[in-house]
Structure 1
Amino acid sequence: MDQFDKFSVRIIPPATSLNPLEGRKYFLTHCEASGTWYLSIGTHQPSLTSKNSFFDVIQAEWTTKMGEYILLGKININYEESDDKLAQIRYMIYQKDLPNLLRLMINGDKQFLQYHSLLLDAPIHIEFESNIPEFYRSLYMGSARKYLINESVNI
């Protein structure tokens, strides 16, 4: 998981490390120049000062569906380009790296998830958004508990 070693978390007010539950949003962004992954947590999308070397990878939100909490995430495969080959490559990369990306998100908000422990078993659904029908998919990715890194110490 070397490519995921550089990681930074930012909580955007009025969100805190414990609230809100309804409407809590995640924005996982990657900086090509530094190789750093940034997780912004809040109630609205953050504004980045230099959008040139940054690109959004996953946007996700805690929401309810039929009375149950779910984490619904979206990955845009096409961005603004309409290059089918580039979209296919991006789709294959994100599909392969998705468990690691979710691990970053879940562990970046670990305190919140431990406080709202009912969310640990809530389903995670990720939608690959694309204007190319074969890449438009919705995947069930398990629950947050599956992605938590246990930090137990053996003595």
Structure 2
Amino acid sequence: MEKIEYDQFSVTILPPATTYHPVDGRKYTLVMSTKDSNYHLAIGFKYEMELLNEETEKILTAEWQPRLGEYILTGRIDFGSKRNGEIVWNNSHKIQGNLTEAISLMVKADKDLYAHVPWLLDAPIYIEIDSNTHKYKTIQYYGTPRQHLI
């Protein structure tokens, strides 16, 4: 297991995944702590849902998938499954502000992959924001990995 730690951000690459393998189905689990603004990213063949604990409310999952001959990075963040609409609305605005930063951290943490597979730099990133309240459900475009590496 390879582990990289930065100030308030840690990355774990879970075997048999490596910094260069796999591309198809490469999964990211980014946990954002609500108490101390720490981030933990796990990269592997499966989502690391056991990272979620009571102190951590926000989790972003993403995966590289081939679609129509090119790759896209699709992700999902869920909030509002047990909350009322007003709390969901407040959390959605907080998360929107942090989501771009979270995606940038995820992309930068995996920069060795882009050196090995450079065509992923221009692949689109789509994040689904999921909620029980229908009006807060969206799929948003978040640019490309190249834009997040700047």
Report the TM-score when normalising by structure 1: 0.85
Cα distance in structure 2, aligned partners of 1:49 and 1:77: 16
The answer to whether the 8 A contact 2:31-2:51 is kept is: no
AA matched with 1:125: Y
Counterpart position of 2:3: none
Counterpart position of 2:137: 136
Shift, 1:21, TM fit: 0.4
Cα distance in structure 1, aligned partners of 2:14 and 2:58: 16
Counterpart position of 2:21: 19
The answer to whether the 8 A contact 1:6-1:37 is kept is: yes
Cα distance in structure 2, aligned partners of 1:5 and 1:17: 21
Alignment length (residue pairs): 145
AA matched with 2:85: D
Cα distance in structure 2, aligned partners of 1:89 and 1:120: 33
Cα distance in structure 2, aligned partners of 1:49 and 1:122: 28
Counterpart position of 2:45: 43
Cα distance in structure 2, aligned partners of 1:60 and 1:49: 15
CA RMSD of aligned residues (A): 1.9
Q: Give 1:1-155 correspondences, 5 Å limit.
A: 5-46=7-48, 48=50, 51-78=53-80, 80-149=81-150
Q: Which runs of 5+ in 2 are unaligned?
A: 1-5
